[in-house]
Structure 1
Amino acid sequence: MLRHLGAKRTPQHNLRLATLLGITAGFVNAAGFLGFSVLTTNVTGHAALFAERIALQDWKTAQVIALWMFLFLAGAFISSLILSFTGRNQRYSYSIPIFIEIIILLFSGLYGQRYDGTLVSKEIFAGSLLFAMGLQNSLVSMISGSVVRTTHLTGTFTDLGIELAQLFNKEKRSQPALRTKIKLRLVIIFFFMTGAIVGAYLFHRFGFNAFYGPIGILIYALLYDIFRIRTMRFYQRTIIAIKKILDPELEDS
């Protein structure tokens, strides 16, 4: 799901990626908004707020909003830098950005109760979540070859609209790739919305402890790939050992 790249990557890998990290992003989007009154998974809305604050000459708030947008960019930059320097084909290189994201979500879960609604408090908590979502968005985009994006739905709805329109074209309608793309868009939208609904419900019930939910999902995503690697290697070694027992000549070759 996370470690397959290029030709080794299949639509199933992208579907699993969209499912788990789409839920995570939707969860953080809802819980972050309810907890800190700030959209924490994209910067589109912040651009309008930034322009408004500039027009009203509210320089202090404008600086904070600019910082939020920069932190999302910084998260994407850091994630890309990590994968570039560690090598995207190296084992578990993807785990570093996810581990950083887990630490940031843990910070919100542990210290969110100290949020007091001030501009400085928003700067810290909302900014850290925007950084985490920048990390995730860049990671997912690089792993999937820009096929999957999980932290916002604007581009996904646009792509879905284009691809649904192509169903009316007889030549394109028969292409399996088109249906695969549509399925992927629907999965991203469904699980993002599911994560948002679950995140809103759990935040109303458990407060900032709800942030432990996406942490659990991210840990599962890491362990899923780690144990699959170990299981597949054990399976391959077992098969090779059995073949050598059945055919001793293989051992000499």
Structure 2
Amino acid sequence: MLNVIDHGPADTNEPPLLIVHGLFGSGRNWGAIAKRLSPNRRVIAVDQRNHGNSPWFDSHTYEDMAADLAEVITHFGGRMDVCGHSMGGKAAMVLALTRPDLVNRLIVADIAPVTYGHDQNQNIQAMRSVDLSKVTKRADASAQLAAHIPDTTLQSFFTQSLDVKEQRWRLNLDVLDAEMPKILSFPDISGRFEGPTLFLSGANSDYVAPEHRATIREKFPKARFAKITGAGHWLHAEKPREFVASLEAWLSHSAL
């Protein structure tokens, strides 16, 4: 089973919330968000396959990831609300479409069920370029990454997946590189999820475009859309308080 970080149980009648991170992330990245939400409900954050402390596999498809999430939900006793960001949002959508019996409500953070043209392989190459034998602290890795990735925020994000003591990445870079076309795409699934669904996006992001709405509504007929002002694709990290407030407001007003 996937590695999980269990923030709970909360002593409430609210259903538990499963948080699913995006590419190159981990459940640990969502610790602050999970803690802010956990007084009102049990919150469980996962490390997806080939990420964090979860097992490594030779494949990384959305069907794989959805099956992993289904195993976690079943292990904890049944249905959950599910929130997924980016790649995690796609995995959460596939779970809802294929196993609607396991999902109460769905929150999709800044991603649509479509194929994207951008590539992430350059970031994999940047991480591969780091001479881990010369890394004794995360700042050492950031300094090396700077030659390829000038954005200090991204440097910090990537090095959170670095095991400094073991001098290894907690990312299966070879498989993520090979499976990148599948990660950028979205599988052809004929199902529909009839439960409440929120597509929450950063106002400065173009990941969920107006032309995507027809496809979204076809698969998620109860979809609602909201944006967080001043946020981009990493809306939960850029505007954490607003992100939590948006989730809590929607969860409190959307009927199960």
Q: Common fold, TM-score beyond 0.5?
A: no
Greater helix share, structure number:
1
Question: TM-score, normalised on structure 1?
Answer: 0.23
Greater strand share, structure number:
2
Largest Rg, 1 or 2? 1
Question: TM-score, normalised on structure 2?
Answer: 0.22
